[in-house]
Structure 1
Amino acid sequence: MMTEALMHALQAAALWSGLLILMLLVLSGMVVSGRRRHMVSFGDGGHSDLLAASRAFGNCVEYATPGMAAMALLALVSGQAWMVHAVGATLLAGRILHALGLMLQTGPSIGRVLGMALTWIALLSAGVGLIAYGVL
């Protein structure tokens, strides 16, 4: 039988994973829209806005996927719901800031820097938490 604490942690993982998946769909839609606008069937066709949209989507996939897996594992190893919420909120905020920094500015931007910092903090926290639960 599932404990109430486990259920709350799994619900937290589901919430943040669902929001990250919706973000991936939005970013994917922006890539598709850019390809249609520029009549490009593959790649970016040399269009900087399409390259930025493609990288925002790709970068989000690269970081959100392990983050979602980590949240699910944290919940399953009896991590507290607040831990899963902290990782999920930090990861989502980081991914949003990073995507906006990529698509709204060229070159280095505060959105990209803060977005990556938050993403790394979320993944580091999840990783340390998983290691702690794994050895204790």
Structure 2
Amino acid sequence: MLLITSIIAAILTIIFIKLSFAVIGLRRKNKVGLGSGGHEDLERAIRTQANFAEYIPLGVILIACLELNGAPWWLVAIPGVSLIIGRLIHAKGMNTPPPDFSKRVLGMKFTFFTLIALVALNLTWSLYRLAV
């Protein structure tokens, strides 16, 4: 079962829906059907949503692999929480006018550190399971 992954994926999906509604709201407000129409706030919202969509799938896949391979719940939960925190900080940094690049960078550091940690955890745990 993927209980921890399910919780993490559900939380991340809620965040993605919120980011998507922000894009939709700004499209309606600015009467833009495609692209950003030159509106900086809409461009930031689009990029925040797209950046989220670019990084989250690999993270969730790696979290699920770790859980499916029998890693302890806490070893699955910690990177999941870290990924959620990183994405929230990044989104806040991107969507607070003017953009707060320190939060954006911190959010990306959390995200990259988490993805790198998940790669290392998956490789280590898989090799450990093969050896045992």
Q: TM-score, normalised by structure 2?
A: 0.92
User: Which of 80, 95, 115 is the aligned partner of 2:87?
Assistant: 95
C-alpha distance in structure 2 between counterparts of 1:78 and 1:106, whole Å = 44
CA distance in 1, matches of 2:54, 2:44: 15
Mapped partners of 1:55, 1:95: distance in 2: 13
The alpha-carbon deviation at position 51 of structure 1 amounts to: 0.3
Contact 2:36–2:43 (CA under 8 A) maintained in structure 1: yes
1:113 has 2:100 as partner: no
Pairs within 5 Å for 1:13-32: 13-32=5-24
- Equivalent-residue separation in structure 2 for 1:15 and 1:38 (angstroms): 35
* Equivalent residue for 1:70, pick from 62, 71, 89: 62
Moved >2 Å (runs of 4+): 105-108, 133-136
| Structure 1 residues not aligned, in runs of 5+ | 1-6
TM superposition score normalised by structure 1? 0.89
Query: Which letter does structure 2 place at the counterpart of 1:78?
Result: G
Gaps of 5+ in 2: none
The 2-side partners of 1:20 and 1:50 are apart by 21
Separation in 2 of the partners of 1:107 and 1:27? 16
Q: Distance in 2 between matches of 1:54 and 1:72?
A: 27
Measure, in 1, the Cα distance between the counterparts of 2:97 and 2:52.
17
SS state at 1:79 partner: coil
Percent identity reads: 31
Partner of 1:123: 115
Shift of 1:134: 2.7
For 1:72, give the aligned amino acid.
A
